[in-house]
Structure 1
C-alpha cells in the first residue's frame, strides 16, 4: 500500500493510511481563548451603557446603520477579528473627523476605563463568536493597483478618498492607526455579516485583496498620537450668548431645521440664542461652534436644562449630521421648549462650508 502521508488511523486492528485533508480541515487561523467573563452586574451595567450611548446610531439590537452609517456591532467577521483592542479603542477615543466620538473620561467622555472594557466584552459576549489570532505583520501589495481596484469595487460606498459615503470611512487616520493590516484584509475577504458589506474572497484574487489593503494602509501616513487638553465646561450663566442681542427669527424648514448660512449670519449679527452641542463631550473638547455648550444626546434633561430659558431661541447640532440633535430637540419640545431648531448640515457640513469653530488644544505625546 502506498503511503500518502504520515497520518494513520487504527480501525478494527488494521492500519489504514488516509490523506490529512480527508481526516481534518485545517483552519486558516488559530484561535484565541475567550476574554474574561463579565459578572452579572458588570453585564447589566454594560448593556445599560450601550442602550444609553450607542443605540441611537448602532441600533438597539446592535444591527448598525441606524444613523450616520454606524457599523453593525454583531457582525461575525468583526468580533472574531477585533476583540478587544479594535473594539475598545474606537469606543474609548472615537474616530477623528467622523461622528464617532470618544467615550472615555480621560478625553472628556462619560465612561471610565473599566466601563469601556466591560462594554467591549459585553459586545463580544452578545455576538457569540470565537476569537481568531490574526497576524500583526504588514501586508505587502501593489499600492497603485490597489487604488485602481478600490475605486472600482469600494469607492461607491466608502468614498473616492476613503471618506465614507454610505459606509464607514476607511481613510480615517485613527482607524488606520488602531487596526492591523490583517484586520483590514480579513474584513475585505469575509465582509461584515448582516450589513451591505459583502465578502470579496470569491470575487477578488488574494493579490488584489492584498493590494487594496496596502493602498488603505498607505493613507495612514502623518498620524500623530495626541491627548486632548480638557477645558472647563461653560457654567449656566454662559449658556445664553449675546444676551443683549435681538431674536434671530429663523425661518425653519419642516418646522425643525436652520441652515448653516442663516445660523452664521445670526451669529455674526450677535443675535441672542443658546447653542447646544449634542455630541459626546469629548468631541466638543476637540472642536465646537463658538458659544455652544456640551449637551450630549444621552443626558438626563431634568439635570441639564437648568439655566436654559424657554423664551430664547435654541439651536442644536451634531455630526450625524442631525440624528443626535433631532433626538435632543424632540426631547426638549416634549418638555415645553418650543423655540428650538436643528442645524441642517451638522458641524461637519458647517466646517466644510468654511464657517469657524473653536479648536481644542492637543498635547503631542508621541515623544513622551
Structure 2
C-alpha cells in the first residue's frame, strides 16, 4: 500500500510493509537557467581554462591538484546552480586552496563573468535542475556522526576536514549550502568521482542523520567583510634590497624548505617572494613581504618589474602546483635564480611560521590556517 504526503516541503512517497515505513524523496524538476550567448560562452570557456584547469582539470574532471572536486558531475549541477556554485567561485572556500575570483574580494573576474562561468559549467554538465527547499533536514546528529564515521570519514576526514575528498566541515560551504543540497549529494553521489550514491545503501533516515551531523559543523560561523591590503608597488618587490642573497640548498634543484626560507627571512636576506595564488587569498593571509603574482598572470607583462639577478621564491597552497607552474614559466623567460616553497603556505603555517593576515597583524601560525 502506498500514498503520497508532503513533509518539510518535499513530496514523499511512503510504502508500508512488514511494519516499516520507507520514505522516498521525490525531487521536482526546475526550469533551466538562462542560456549564454555565443560570446558569453566563449568568454566563460576561456576563463575556465585560464583560472580553473590547474586544479579542476582541462576537462573539468577534478582532483588534478589539491583534491579539487569534479565540475562535470551532473548531481552537483542538478542541485547546485546557481548559488552553490556561484558563491565558492566568487568568495572561495576559507581554509582551502579555493580562492575567491570575484573582483570585489581581490579576484580577477567581474560579477557578470562569475555568473556566466557558473552557467557555462551547468550547460557543460548536461544536468537538469531540481528544486530544493530552504527547509532544514531534520535528523539525529549523534546517530549521524556514527554513520558518518563508518561511511564518510576515510575520504572526508574524521571531523569533516577533508582527506582525499572535499572538506565537509568547511564553515563557508556550510553557510552557503542548503541542507537539501548536502542531502542530495549524499543520496545521489557525484558521478565520475569516488563519491558513490548512498541511495539504497543507507536508509532515508540515516541520510537525514548524516546531513544533520554535517550541518552541525557550521555552528559559530559569521560572515566578515574583508579588509583589503594595498597591493605592493614595484619598488617594494625586493625584500632587503641592500643585503646579500640567501644561499639555499635546494632539494631536487628547485625546492626550499620552510625552515630554510624562514631562516633567510630572519637573516634579512635579499629576495623576492611570489604568492602565486589568486589575489583574494593573498589578501587573507600571506608571508610578509610577498607580492601577489597569480598563476594565471600574463607573465610577459608582469616580469617587467622583476629583476633577474635576485633570488625568487614562489609559494602557493596546492602545496606546490601553482608555484611550480609559475617558476617553470619564469625559467623559460631566463630567470634561473628561482625556488619553490616545498611545504606551501599551509605547511608553513602548520609548522608555526608567521603570516600577515587581512587586518594587518602578524600571526604566529598557530591558529587555524587561512589562505
**What TM-score, normalized to structure 2?**
0.89
TM-superposed CA distance for 1:31, in Å, is: 0.9
Match for residue 56 of structure 1?
54
TM-superposed CA distance for 1:361, in Å, is: 2.9
Q: 1:118-154 deviations in whole A, cap 9, x for unaligned?
A: 0000001111111000122111111112112211211
Task: State the alpha-carbon separation in 2 of the partners of residues 200 and 131 from structure 1.
Answer: 20
**Given the alignment of the two structures, is residue 278 of structure 1 paired with residue 260 of structure 2, yes or no?**
no
Match for residue 73 of structure 1?
71
Match for residue 123 of structure 1?
121
TM-superposed CA distance for 1:231, in Å, is: 2.0
Q: 1:228-280 deviations in whole A, cap 9, x for unaligned?
A: 12222101111010112222111111112111111111111111110000000
Task: State the alpha-carbon separation in 2 of the partners of residues 163 and 269 from structure 1.
Answer: 36
Match for residue 138 of structure 2?
140
**Given the alignment of the two structures, is residue 28 of structure 1 paired with residue 26 of structure 2, yes or no?**
yes
Match for residue 114 of structure 1?
112
Task: State the alpha-carbon separation in 2 of the partners of residues 256 and 216 from structure 1.
Answer: 40
Moved over 6 A (4+): none
| Aligned pairs (5 A) from 1:150-161 | 150-161=148-159
Provide the secondary structure at the position in 2 that maps to 1:240: coil
Match for residue 291 of structure 1?
289
TM-superposed CA distance for 1:27, in Å, is: 8.2
1:44 counterpart (37, 42, 45): 42
Q: Given that residues 47 and 119 in structure 1 are in contact (C-alpha distance below 8 angstroms), is that contact kept between their aligned partners in structure 2? A: yes
Task: State the alpha-carbon separation in 2 of the partners of residues 203 and 221 from structure 1.
Answer: 29
Task: State the alpha-carbon separation in 1 of the partners of residues 344 and 208 from structure 2.
Answer: 36
Q: 1:276-312 deviations in whole A, cap 9, x for unaligned?
A: 0000000011110000000000000011112211111
Q: Across the two proteins, how many residue pairs are aligned to each other?
A: 340
Task: State the alpha-carbon separation in 1 of the partners of residues 144 and 115 from structure 2.
Answer: 35
Q: 1:5-33 deviations in whole A, cap 9, x for unaligned?
A: 9xxxxxxxxxxxxxxx9xxxx98111111
Match for residue 197 of structure 2?
199
Q: 1:314-343 deviations in whole A, cap 9, x for unaligned?
A: 111111111111111111111111111111
Q: Given that residues 107 and 227 in structure 1 are in contact (C-alpha distance below 8 angstroms), is that contact kept between their aligned partners in structure 2? A: no
Task: State the alpha-carbon separation in 2 of the partners of residues 160 and 340 from structure 1.
Answer: 38
Task: State the alpha-carbon separation in 2 of the partners of residues 97 and 180 from structure 1.
Answer: 20
Pairwise CA RMSD of aligned residues?
1.6
Match for residue 228 of structure 2?
230
**Given the alignment of the two structures, is residue 101 of structure 1 paired with residue 99 of structure 2, yes or no?**
yes
Task: State the alpha-carbon separation in 2 of the partners of residues 149 and 266 from structure 1.
Answer: 48
Q: 1:171-227 deviations in whole A, cap 9, x for unaligned?
A: 101000010111001101111000111111122111211111111111101111112
| Aligned pairs (5 A) from 1:172-211 | 172-211=170-209
